[in-house]
């Protein structure tokens, strides 16, 4: 009877974790479809990019802090706090009266999303065995796949038939049910100890990471890379990083403790996750444009091409448990990294007139690589840490992936834009008069179908070439990621950090 009750309790907790994960996962995709309606109501189109950037920035920089707080005070209060902050940001965003206020309130949403990303995966490590965790990670990963498909459809429907403000208010019933389930079914036998919160470390780390990500997100867009602001922001980020290291070395309970960067398993896995984050931005940012502009697919069909990756990820994540229990975490991750390399190189071999189904299969292989890489490395480091360090190692793993995505956005944006600019500059004189002047005008020109056939074909070929430059960069980073996985120890030993303290507090 007790086992049946415990099984039911864990099922309700998993449902709650999936709901909270959906809040963060669906947020960007549901907002992106309502851009015309939001701008038409609030104005400020030139500032709209910050609606996405501020969310990603706030979420990424707070993940390590929430991870540490979850180790100090328990997962439940941190997750409840973050979810409530996210819901408060959703209500405020729905009430925004101009673009600056919407940007501020989106930042508030991001602060809550950081808690969700840090604690949901940590709780999965607490509540489930190593054997069960691959299946659970498959369920959690599937949330991203469902969100990528449901988000745009739901966002478009709400924006067209109701109001764009409902894309934020729809979070409230989902979040309310998740909060109620967590409050009712998640119990932690937390022993209260006196903790010294590392306020100084948290502040300087927020400034350092925030400055770095801001430079990566806005470089080449808001200012040239080699301009005074472009170089200066990275100099400031470097100085703040040095200050963060100095502060954290003296902190009794550091937000990002030094052993995170000394332990061979953690260093190698975190570097591999940065590499994976970089590769992930190639399909996420450029594949829908490739599908519509090069292959001539509609928006929905182009989305289904990307869905190949989104489907491959959770399926591979779900079956990874059978592999890592048999051949180990490192060797399973090697298979995943190899599939990433194959997926990126396969794209480079595709002709311009490739069939959509071939591209979808290629992206399925790439997504399977992501699943077989990310899940074994996450479960492996969680299994090596006890309860008191699991939040820190989990948040470091997830933070590394998001940092990689920011790096990938900057690198691939530069590769894509430079390739397009070069193609426009080298266009034959007979075509140049019909071509747009810059990168921003290309997509609009293609979708208006107002160009002569030769100019239209030249632009489509230009996007084909530029996207191949992006995937060439992705292939290079996939190979680097493979090297990081090879550097990872074959067996994940326990993470011994020498804390002479009371026994770690287990979850109930």
pTM: 0.83
Pair of tokens at residue 160: 């067209």
Higher pLDDT pick, 493 / 483: 483
User: 387-425 and 356-384 helices cross at what angle (nearest 10)?
Assistant: 150
**Cα Rg of the chain, angstroms:** 23
pLDDT tens for each residue of 383-392: 887 777 888 8
To the question of domain 1-187 being in CATH 3.40.50.300, the answer is no
Mean predicted confidence (pLDDT) in 440-444: 63
CA dist 129 → 123, 380, 391 (Å):
11, 11, 16
What span, in angstroms and rounded, lies between the C-alpha atoms of 460 and 464?
Answer: 6
Decide if pLDDT at 191 tops 70.
no
pLDDT tens-digit readout, 324-351:
888 988 999 999 999 999 999 999 999 9
Among 13-27, 290-304, 393-407, the minimum mean pLDDT is found in: 290-304
Burial of residue 354, with CB atoms counted within 10 A of its CB: 0-12 exposed, 13-18 middle, 19 or more buried: middle
For 447-483, write each residue's pLDDT tens digit: 666 667 777 787 888 889 989 999 999 999 999 999 9
With 50 as the cut, is the pLDDT of residue 504 above it?
no
**The predicted structure's pLDDT at residue 46:** 60
Buried b (16+ CB within 10 A) or exposed e, 49-75: ebbbbbbbbbbbbbbbbbbbbbbbbbb
Residue 48: its pLDDT value, please?
A: 65
pLDDT at 32 over 70: no
Of 94-98, 337-341, 499-503, the range with the highest mean pLDDT is: 337-341
Torsions phi, psi for 507 (to 5 deg) = -70, 160
In this predicted structure, the answer to whether residue 502 has a pLDDT above a threshold of 50 is: no
Q: Which of 79-93, 167-181, 298-312 has the lowest mean pLDDT?
A: 298-312
Just give the CATH number of 257-492.
1.20.1250.20
| Residues paired with 223 in a beta bridge | 219
User: What is the three-state SS of 266-320?
Assistant: HHHHHHHHHHHHHHHHHHHHHHHHHHHHCCCCCHHHHHHHHHHHHHHHHHHHHHH
User: Strand, helix or coil at 23?
Assistant: helix
H-assigned helices in 74-129 = 75-94, 99-127
Domain ranges of the chain: 1-187, 198-252, 257-492
Q: Find the mean pLDDT for residues 12-37.
A: 79
Can 1-187 and 257-492 be said to share one CATH topology? yes
Highest-scoring range by mean pLDDT, 181-195, 394-408, 474-488: 474-488
Which pLDDT band holds residue 507 (cuts at 50, 70, 90)?
very low
265: pLDDT strictly greater than 80: yes
Mean pLDDT confidence for 4-16: 79
pLDDT of residue 500: 33
The whole-number average pLDDT for the span 297-326 is 79
């Amino acid at each position: 009877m007790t086992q049946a009750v415990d099984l039911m309790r864990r099922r309700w907790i998993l449902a709650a974790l999936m709901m909270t994960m959906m809040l963060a996962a669906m947020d960007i995709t549901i907002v992106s479809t309502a851009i015309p309606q939001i701008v038409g109501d609030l104005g400020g189109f030139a500032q709209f990019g910050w609606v996405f950037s501020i969310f990603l920035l706030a979420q990424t920089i707070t993940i390590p802090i929430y991870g540490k707080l979850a180790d100090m005070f328990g997962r439940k209060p941190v997750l409840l706090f973050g979810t409530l902050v996210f819901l408060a940001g959703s209500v405020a965003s729905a009430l925004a009266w101009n673009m600056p206020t919407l940007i501020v309130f989106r930042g508030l949403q991001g602060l809550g999303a950081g808690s969700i990303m840090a604690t949901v995966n940590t709780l999965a490590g607490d509540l489930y065995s190593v054997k069960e965790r691959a299946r659970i990670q498959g369920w959690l990963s599937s949330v991203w796949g469902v969100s990528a498909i449901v988000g745009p459809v739901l966002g478009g429907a709400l924006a067209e038939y109701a109001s764009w403000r409902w894309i934020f208010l729809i979070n409230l019933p989902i979040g309310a049910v998740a909060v109620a389930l967590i409050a009712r079914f998640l119990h932690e036998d937390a022993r209260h100890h006196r903790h010294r919160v590392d306020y100084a470390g948290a502040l300087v780390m927020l400034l350092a990471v925030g400055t770095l990500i801001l430079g990566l997100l806005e470089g080449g867009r808001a200012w040239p890379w080699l301009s005074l602001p472009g170089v200066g922001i990275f100099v400031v980020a470097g100085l703040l990083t040095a200050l963060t290291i100095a502060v954290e070395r003296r902190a009794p309970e550091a937000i990002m403790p030094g052993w995170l960067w000394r332990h061979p398993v953690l260093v190698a896995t975190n570097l591999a996750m940065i590499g994976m984050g970089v590769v992930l931005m190639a399909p996420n940012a450029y594949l829908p444009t490739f599908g519509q502009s090069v292959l001539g697919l509609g928006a929905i069909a182009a989305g289904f091409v990307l869905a190949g990756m989104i489907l491959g990820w959770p399926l591979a994540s779900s079956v990874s448990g059978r592999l890592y229990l048999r051949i180990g975490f490192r060797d399973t991750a090697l298979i995943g990294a190899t599939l990433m390399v194959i997926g990126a190189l396969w794209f480079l071999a595709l002709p311009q007139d490739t069939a959509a189904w071939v591209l979808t299969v290629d992206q399925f292989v790439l997504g399977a690589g992501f699943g077989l890489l990310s899940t074994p490395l996450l479960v492996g480091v969680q299994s090596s840490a006890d309860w008191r360090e699991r939040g820190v190692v989990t948040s470091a793993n997830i933070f590394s992936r998001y940092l990689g995505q920011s790096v990938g956005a900057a690198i691939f944006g530069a590769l894509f834009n430079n390739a397009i600019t070069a193609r426009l500059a080298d266009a034959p004189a007979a075509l140049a008069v019909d071509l747009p002047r810059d990168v921003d005008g290309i997509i609009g020109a293609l979708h208006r179908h107002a160009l002569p056939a030769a100019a239209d074909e030249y632009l489509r070929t230009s996007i084909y070439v530029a996207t191949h430059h992006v995937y060439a960069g992705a292939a290079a980073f996939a190979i680097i990621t493979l090297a990081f996985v090879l550097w990872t120890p074959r067996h994940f030993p326990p993470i011994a950090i020498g804390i002479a303290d009371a026994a770690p507090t287990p979850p109930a």
